Structure 1
């Protein structure tokens, strides 16, 4: 029998085991979805409201990406209001800031009655990740974060281009209808270091596509980056392209700040209504060491709110996880400390008229990172 733990509300939290869920719920459609993928990387567990004897009067399957500050309800069944109340108490007990709810079975009316707000449907979903048509969010402490549109990258390598485009739509300088696959691939083609986008090349491409925006690249190493997985010959010509991007940045006025960008500066930039494209590793959230671009666009106490253009369908991850995703400051700091050398790569974008954008003084580079 799995270990059980009581929450302050009359409920039980138990690790998810397919056999236990089937026996106690008997809802074939829901339970089959729960077991259709291996969710173990997202710590799946059941929050249940006990009934008489061994029966449950209701239950929810709850998951979350590691090192984040939210929980996601995949489904809630039975006495749904009581179950959601139990999940809220469980999330508060863990010090989390947000709940999500995938819209497989819940209606908009049920979600609203439980204090959730509907998320706008995604403009696209990342390759292979067919999530629900609807999703809902509830901020547990009343925090309000303005949501950008969610757009899932349509290839495995266009995350940088997508985050740049979503930032522009969120800032109101690019119409929502312009965010499509043609725009995604066009910006990627201008920014790519084949296949990924490195920070300076991304900043240069963004400035060329939006000359009115103030773009600053933050990169605290002068070595070529994101190349260690390649053979020496393939590293050499990509390094030449990165050098050419630095030359182009100087020519068109894109500042390359060689100092380390602290998380406090990320928060400050968001507070000025700027957007931060941040390079991080997916090792903590997804279990594999791959460099990846996300958009930092909101802050709440203790966490930075990001939009991630990629969802990992193999773990039950969907756009509902990736959209309006709160990540604790310490976790985001660790995720965005990149190897080799612990460098950080980011692009900050101020989309108000450039004459009104603050231009930061370059930080002193850390000699050990160079």
Structure 2
């Protein structure tokens, strides 16, 4: 399909887009600064090339392997087909489509499947009620529930809860704010969750699930930005977590965890909670937990419990998000020590007490 790809500059839109305004170019194209997500237009030209019959506003987080359609004006199905071809030409894994104006019948007609709507989101989150996805490779990735963290500091707890819900160890109905804050309280290093403390908390909440912590440094982590007097007691808490890990049989593997091992773990139906920096995807170097739960050619599929509404980022971006292997490898090496922190959770062992009941009994 012939298409035109052009940058989207809200102050100076291309003339053919202006002529498509009769179809109702949404105001949301203009009201959010999407410049950090490379906004561009994929348009379908008329036969003479002088005008457009349709256009889609397309964005994506940096260092990822997907495109997101925000909206389409004009001939919807033709524009979406042009975006899919554009994504294939770039070797990407996936196209998503926010459901602001998308009709289910149009999405189905061009090969998109509906996404499960989020179970929760932060109060300042902005996003459509629905969304759609089309994978650009053979096979499919099993979809976990999407739960957006409701605080700025509970990403570690949320990734663990979503992992267990995806594994069938926790009912979706139990994935709520009480569970989020309860698990965070058990794992926190005030306010962050460091790898060993998170692994120990997961073991306590779900004793039937095998847990391994991967941390290739023996010093306390995630403390560099605190003054010295604030580091000391947090370091002591991390030392206590290591003692508790030894007492409860949670292994702490001191070797570097390579991306190939993360892929292998996912292939064994394990879930990998991975500590990353948000610098690559969001532009600020803040440590953050994501869930690695699927693989596609060249990319790992993650759940990110946080979306940056100020850049037009929504749960549709953060859910079923493919990140190319080299990019994920880079963003998951943290601080000057260049350490990697992760927690792997295996499928629940059969004939053991149910993790959902263990979780329900936690204080």
Query: Which range, TM-score by smaller chain?
Result: over 0.9
- Which of 151, 162, 168 is the matching residue for 2:147? 151
Q: 1:41 aligned to 2:32?
A: no
Q: Which of the residues 291, 294, 312 maps onto 1:295?
A: 291
Residues in 2 aligned to 1:205 and 1:89: alpha-carbon distance in whole angstroms = 45
What TM-score results when the alignment is normalised by the length of structure 1? Answer: 0.92
2:22 and 2:36 mapped to 1: Cα distance?
Answer: 24
* CA deviation after TM superposition for structure 1 residue 27, in Å: 5.2
How many angstroms apart in 1 are the aligned matches of 2:123 and 2:301?
Answer: 23
User: Which residue does 2:355 correspond to in 1?
Assistant: none
- Tell me the TM-score normalized by structure 2: 0.93
Question: How far apart are 1:340 and its partner, in Å?
Answer: 2.1
DSSP-derived class of the 1:73 partner: strand
Measure how far apart 1:122 and its partner are.
0.5
State the partner residue of 1:6: none
Any gaps of 5 or more consecutive residues in structure 1? 1-8, 357-370
**1:214/1:354 contact within 8 Å kept:** no
The question of whether the paired residues in 2 share the 8 Å contact of 1:69 and 1:303 is answered with: yes
Q: 1:105-144 residue pairs with structure 2 within 5 A?
A: 105-144=101-140
- 3-state DSSP of counterpart to 1:304: strand
Task: Tell whether 2:21 aligns with 1:26.
Answer: yes
Would you say 1:15 and 2:7 are equivalent positions? yes
Output the CA distance in 1 between the equivalents of 2:172 and 2:22. Answer: 39
- Asked if 1 retains the 8 angstrom alpha-carbon contact of 2:42 and 2:79, the reply is yes
SS of 1:208's equivalent? helix
Shift of 1:53: 5.9
SS at match of 1:35: helix
Local SS of the residue matching 1:226: coil
Distance 1:235 1:28, change over 3 A: farther
Give the equivalent residue in structure 2 for 1:284. 280
**Divergent runs of 4+, >2 A:** 27-31, 51-55
Which residue of 2 is the match for residue 205 of structure 1? 201
Report the equivalent of 1:169. 165
Matches of 2:117 and 2:35, distance apart in 1: 27
Distance across 2 between alignment mates of 1:245 and 1:352: 23
Tell me how large the CA RMSD over aligned residues is.
Answer: 1.5
> What's the CA shift string for 1:177-207, capped at 9, x where partnerless?
0000000000000000001100000000010
Q: In the alignment, what sits opposite 2:307?
A: 311
Matches within 5 A, 1:157-306: 157-306=153-302
Q: Determine the C-alpha separation between the residues in 1 that align with 2:49 and 2:26.
A: 21
Which secondary structure does the structure 2 equivalent of 1:244 belong to? helix
The verdict on how the C-alpha distance between 1:26 and 1:282 changes in structure 2, with shifts beyond 3 A counting, is same
Post-superposition shift, 1:143?
Answer: 3.0
Alpha-carbon separation, structure 2, partners of 1:58 and 1:29? 12
Using the TM superposition, give the Cα deviation of residue 55 of structure 1 relative to its aligned residue in structure 2, in angstroms: 2.6
In structure 1, distance between residues paired with 2:212 and 2:97 = 36
TM-aligned CA deviation for residue 30 of structure 1: 3.7
Partner of 1:102: 98
For this pair of structures, how many residues does the alignment match? Answer: 348
Alpha carbons of structure 1 residues 225 and 55: separation in structure 2 relative to 1, 3 Å: same
